[in-house]
Structure 1
Amino acid sequence: MTDPSATAIPPRLAGLPSWGPRPTNRDVELVPSTDWSGDVVTYDFPGVEVGVATYENGPTGCTVLHVPAGARLAIDARGGAIGMSNGFEYFAHAICLTGGSVYGLSAGSGVADELRARGGNRGGVDDLQLVSTAVIYDYSARETAIHPDAALGRAAIRAAEHGRVPVGRVGAGATASAGKIDYARTELTGQGAAFARAGEVRVLVVTVPNPVGVIVDRDGEVVRGNYDAERGERRRLEGDYLAAIERAQQPRAERGNTTITAVITNVRLSDRELIHFGRQVHSSMNRAIQPFHTALDGDTLFALTTDEVDLTPSVPAEDDDAPVNSIAIGALASELAWDAVLEAAR
């Protein structure tokens, strides 16, 4: 029986990778592209800017979330293939999400260089611009070895503006993909985002799903990944694994997976609350990505707060450190994270 999601959403197969010699940054003239005529998610979060830059002849790119005044930061990193640099688990001025695997980490240095220049190249401790970077492995879904570099990072932060997040095959999501049980069944995803405002509270999520798992909508249907062209259907991975186990065959999955996410709120959270806020949102994403946090994934979520809005829940006096705020905001952000993943898969 054909999965209805497969007929509703046309397949977007990534194609089989070639592991032979490939052009890299030194072989072509690279021009960062910061223009985007595709879909965007709009948001209203003063003091938060988002910029993207893409090397179209990759294609690969980076996405920067910039908070000029800075924001407190907690990081939740899981899985067996994490790619991250400068994981400042207390404060950030910018988060750089990028392709290019470990080579793409240099994009974050470009972001930091640009911010340092804006500050007059001062070297005092209080002048340091803190940039944390996380990468996806996107080489399996393209024919080049071009990677985001410092020039692309500088272009992304220079393009950062308030109010819109480009979504689709752009920035860090230019060649993201999902459902890599078999490269022949892998589908391209992209970059996704979602925003909500409730009273004075604001939450913005930006994500790049590049998992070994498939992407699942709220009806439980697989919408990206593990597309079987012969059957004309998408399906979850566990059925393939169960069949392999029953036949005493080696279950398979391809390498090169990671989902990277940034979630920012303006709600004041204690250090403890911010850590658990990040964990709550990251854990919730297994509803949209199945399976998630595997040994072949390097999932990383950056949780930030600008501490601008105080919520005053009624809690017992003897329990005034109860993490009620993080639970409430985490519930909202968790739904937005699902929305953002689905936006990337659209």
Structure 2
Amino acid sequence: MIKPGAKNLITDVDGIKIGNAEDKQVMTGVTAIVPDTAAVGGVDVRGGGPGTRETEALNPDCLVERVDAIVLSGGSVYGLEAAAGAVMALAKQGRGFEAKGIHVPIVPSAILFDLANSGNKNWGDMPPYRQLGIQATENVNDDFPLGNIGAGYGAAAGKMKGGLGSASLISDDGIQVGAIFAVNPVGSVVIPGTRHFWAWPFEQNAEFGGLGAPEIDGELTLDIPAESRLAENTTIGVVATNIALTKSEAKRIAIMAHDGLARAIRPVHTPFDGDSIFALSTEKVELSGSRPLGVAKIGAMAADCVARSIARAVYNARSLGGLPGYMS
């Protein structure tokens, strides 16, 4: 049997904590995913307009084996500075490898575009993202709200307010999987003409409204919602497991997890999106039985968690900056 964890958050995975910080005037924010100890990491980027930092280091043929945190940020290219703030905060904690007394944390990052919302972007020479990165990394916890929080604070999901979402699954044999996503896609997360999420088949315990199967009258449209801001999008996130994985296996989990985006957003992986997924292994439990089958199971669980996280992000987001929330 596989069911959500006690919190139904990525922090149901042993060894994962989350920190969030927002600037309400700028209408933006940062989310830090911080493992208790350095975690094996992988990444897969599918969108046509990504913005990332240190993703190449996660390739299986590169030297780095583990990361100290993953940072998700609003702010487009300016938001990449949030990872620099996380690096400083983690270095003060003694995290990262040591070189002549200097701690060097490894913090890959991805950003989404929220610059066109109604927040005040007149920040002069000092965008807020470095400080937000510090705050998010220092304020980690195992519980956090969803919706207008962290990297999802200023996000838009097609014609409605986007946000930050999370979900988890735990199997009887001890596999823990969780996901956390900042949802800002060009596509729609709801079926046109209905209140139903595309992710409805994967819902657990009415976590995003419990509407069940939709009744579709007429043809489904493939059009990108007219309200979307082209080239100003992206859905970014992290999936995590307690099972010990290699870098290659973490990469495979990230690849499989992208199926969750396709189940929850339509269309997805467009030229206008920068869809990126990181995968983390906290290495708390060794995988038993067939290793390829075990990796396949973790990847399937991760994809389901991703789809649910995306729906939960929008379901919990509230109206902000002229964008209506799902419950409006």
- TM-score normalized with structure 1 length: 0.72
**What secondary structure sits across from 2:19 in the alignment?**
strand
Distance 1:340 1:124, change over 3 A: farther
Q: Which amino acid aligns with 2:25?
A: N
Q: Could you tell me which residue of structure 2 aligns to residue 107 of structure 1?
A: 82
Post-superposition Cα deviations, 1:117-151, rounded to whole Å, max 9, x if no partner, equal 12199535994211111100012222422554211
Q: Could you tell me which residue of structure 2 aligns to residue 197 of structure 1?
A: 170
Q: Could you tell me which residue of structure 2 aligns to residue 227 of structure 1?
A: none
Any conservation in 1 of the 2:187–2:224 contact (CA below 8 Å)? no
- TM-score normalized with structure 2 length: 0.76
Once residues 271 and 256 of structure 1 are traced to their aligned partners in structure 2, the CA distance between those partners, rounded to angstroms, is: 31
Determine which structure has greater relative contact order: mean sequence separation of CA pairs < 8 Å that are 6+ residues apart, divided by chain length. 2
Q: Could you tell me which residue of structure 1 aligns to residue 288 of structure 2?
A: 312
Pairwise CA RMSD of aligned residues?
2.9
In structure 2, the gaps of 5 or more residues are 1-6, 59-64, 199-218, 316-328
Once residues 289 and 113 of structure 1 are traced to their aligned partners in structure 2, the CA distance between those partners, rounded to angstroms, is: 35
Q: CA deviation at 1:236?
A: 6.4
Any conservation in 1 of the 2:31–2:71 contact (CA below 8 Å)? yes
The number of residue pairs the alignment matches comes to 274
Asked if residue 260 in structure 1 is aligned to residue 260 in structure 2, the reply is no
Distance 1:42 1:273, change over 3 A: closer
Match of 1:176 among 128, 139, 155: 155
Any conservation in 2 of the 1:191–1:209 contact (CA below 8 Å)? yes
Once residues 253 and 110 of structure 1 are traced to their aligned partners in structure 2, the CA distance between those partners, rounded to angstroms, is: 29
Distance 1:73 1:44, change over 3 A: same
Any conservation in 2 of the 1:93–1:130 contact (CA below 8 Å)? yes
Once residues 10 and 41 of structure 2 are traced to their aligned partners in structure 1, the CA distance between those partners, rounded to angstroms, is: 23
Any conservation in 1 of the 2:13–2:240 contact (CA below 8 Å)? no
Asked if residue 130 in structure 1 is aligned to residue 106 in structure 2, the reply is yes
Once residues 42 and 324 of structure 1 are traced to their aligned partners in structure 2, the CA distance between those partners, rounded to angstroms, is: 22
Task: Determine what percentage of the aligned residue pairs are the same residue.
Answer: 31
Q: CA deviation at 1:178?
A: 1.6
Q: CA deviation at 1:54?
A: 0.4
Distance 1:240 1:85, change over 3 A: closer
Q: CA deviation at 1:307?
A: 2.0
In structure 1, the gaps of 5 or more residues are 1-38, 180-185, 225-234, 245-251, 315-321
Any conservation in 1 of the 2:50–2:234 contact (CA below 8 Å)? yes
Q: Which amino acid aligns with 2:39?
A: A
Q: Which amino acid aligns with 1:165?
A: F
Asked if residue 340 in structure 1 is aligned to residue 309 in structure 2, the reply is yes
Match of 1:61 among 29, 38, 47: 29
Distance 1:308 1:41, change over 3 A: closer
Match of 1:83 among 51, 55, 58: 51
Match of 1:117 among 75, 92, 106: 92
Q: CA deviation at 1:266?
A: 1.0
Once residues 224 and 83 of structure 2 are traced to their aligned partners in structure 1, the CA distance between those partners, rounded to angstroms, is: 38
Any conservation in 1 of the 2:49–2:272 contact (CA below 8 Å)? yes
